[in-house]
Structure formats: C-alpha cells, structure tokens
Amino acid sequence: MNFVVCIKQVPDTVNVKIDPKTNTLIREGVVSIINPFDMYAIEEAVRLKEKLGGKVTAISMGPPQAENALRDAIAVGVDQGILVSDRAFAGSDTWTTSYTLSMALKKIGDYTIILCGKQASDGDTAQVGPGIAAHLDLPQITYVRKIETVDAKHIVAERLMEDGFEVIESPLPCVLTVVKEINEPRLPSLKGKLAAKKAQIVHWKAADLACDSAKLGLDGSPTKVMKIFTPTPRQGGIIFKGEPDQMVARVVEKLKDAVIAAAS
C-alpha cells in the first residue's frame, strides 16, 4: 500500500505580517514548522505503513524553504518528500492549493490513502483536504479520530462529531483528514535525522504537473481578500460590586441610560 501525506509549513509565531499589496502572509524570514495537525497525519501514515507495509510519501506545496518540513517528516518515518514549488503558485487560496496538490497526486498516480491534517494553523479553513477529494473525485472521511480496519479495498474509520462520533466505511483509495485525538506523534530518532539530512527531495514545478495556468496562484483563486485590518481594541468594561439585588438594579439603570442615549 502507498500512503501520501499532504503537509504544510506554517509560521511558528503569532506575530505574522501581511503584505499590504497582495493581502497574503509574508513568509520570508519567519521561523516555520510543520502545521501541527499535519504531524498527526504523518504519524498515522507511518503507523499504517508499519502495520500493512508499503511506502509513505509526504508532499508539500510552498516556497523553497518548505523543503525543511519534508526533511522533518522523513526524520519520523516518511520515505520520500516531494516539494511542489513555483512562483506561479504564489497567493493560492484553498481551492487553487487543493487543485495543485491534486495534480501532483495524479502525477504520483499510485496511492491507497491520502492523509491531511484537519486544518492549517495559519488559515483554519479545513478546506484543502476535502478540496483534494473533490478534484480527484475520491470519497473522503473528515475529522477522523480512529482508523478501525483497513484491507485491500476498504477502510473503516471513526469520524469525530460535536456530540460523539460516527463510524464510516469507504472504498479505497480515499482522502482522510485527521484530528489530534487519533494518535501521539513520535519524536525523530538519530537514525531518522541522519536519513532526513541525506534524503533527496523531489522538486516539481507547475510545468511538471501539466496544470491549467488559469487555475493557479492569486489570479486563479476564486477567493479574494479585499482588505485586512486590525480591529479596534475594546474599551474597558464596568465591574459591579455588591449584593446581587444591588448589582441588578445598577445594571438595569445603566441599560436604561444607554437606550435613552441611543434614542436621542
């Protein structure tokens, strides 16, 4: 079996900066890490390989520095890393990102299960995994918290819900997005670190994927960010002290004053 994990390199900081011209994140010069949710996807793929045999390939779409994320993935058990990087991909939204990754997956060709973290920490949309499934016309199971069984043709998994979970069976190949409840990611071993350092990362550009240029990057993205701004800080509130009856009376009085002021 062949397992493919789609990973993303994200800023390791809350102090991100926005390019005022493109309204996209400025990633150059910012310390980056593998998206935390993708670490669970990597771990689950490696566990599936250890149990069922086969190969794990990690693929990332991003700038040249995203090669570091692929090496980190190799250090914990991934067999091969593929970096999809091209100026043509700059500014991609979730739809064009999932399209580009789907074209890379078509180039890979042989895959049994495609795994993604449920969402990226720098976007929180949870759309790329389902987008990949849509572009490839594959079944998908989102928010997977446990894989119960896998055979040559089917997978059974538990999908996390707000009020519990549901058990879903799907034919293979399929796309999974996983949540942190699924496992505990391992730390890299010394052997893994040495393998990651020596690994040859495969590099693919837009031309290598036979992509439709109209569906790439900022121009091909249907989502347009018109403006990004910092919200006005909230003013300090009022703290009422005293017995409950006294505080209720004061709150009511304040509300009356506010209503009268708004109406005048």
Residues 6 or more apart in contact with residue 199 via CB below 8 angstroms:
70, 71, 74, 80, 81
pLDDT > 70 fraction of the chain, expressed in percent and rounded: 93
pLDDT surpassing 70 at residue 26: no
Indicate whether 206 belongs to any domain: yes
Report the range of poorest mean pLDDT among 77-81, 97-101, 242-246: 242-246
pLDDT band at 96 (very low <50, low <70, confident <90, very high): very high
Indicate whether 249 belongs to any domain: no
* Residue 170: other Cβ atoms inside 10 A: 17
* Residue 199: other Cβ atoms inside 10 A: 18
pLDDT band at 23 (very low <50, low <70, confident <90, very high): low
| Average per-residue pLDDT for the chain | 91
pLDDT surpassing 90 at residue 27: no
41 in Cβ contact with 178 (< 8 Å): yes
Name the residue range of residue 46's domain.
2-220
Q: How far apart are CA 261 and CA 91, in angstroms?
A: 46
Report the range of poorest mean pLDDT among 23-32, 163-172, 181-190: 23-32
Q: Output the pLDDT for position 16.
A: 63
Indicate whether 50 belongs to any domain: yes
pLDDT (mean) for 218-230: 82
Indicate whether 90 belongs to any domain: yes
Q: How many domains, in total, are found in the chain?
A: 1
Indicate whether 143 belongs to any domain: yes
Q: Which of 204, 220, 211, 184 is nearest to 61 (CA)?
A: 204
pLDDT (mean) for 39-60: 97
Q: Tens digits of per-residue pLDDT, 177-212?
A: 999 999 999 999 999 999 999 999 999 999 999 999
pLDDT (mean) for 2-22: 80
**Edge-to-edge strands, sheet with 164-171:** 164-171, 154-161, 140-150, 174-178, 113-117, 2-7, 55-61, 80-84, 202-204
263 compared with 61, residue with greater pLDDT: 61
Indicate whether 239 belongs to any domain: no
CATH number of 136's domain:
3.40.50.620
Token readout for 146 is 């446990």
Token readout for 223 is 């989502």
Q: Output the pLDDT for position 29.
A: 63
Kind of pairing, strands 164-171 and 174-178? unpaired
Q: How far apart are CA 253 and CA 264, in angstroms?
A: 17
pLDDT (mean) for 153-172: 96
| φ, ψ at 60 (rounded to 5°) | -135, 140
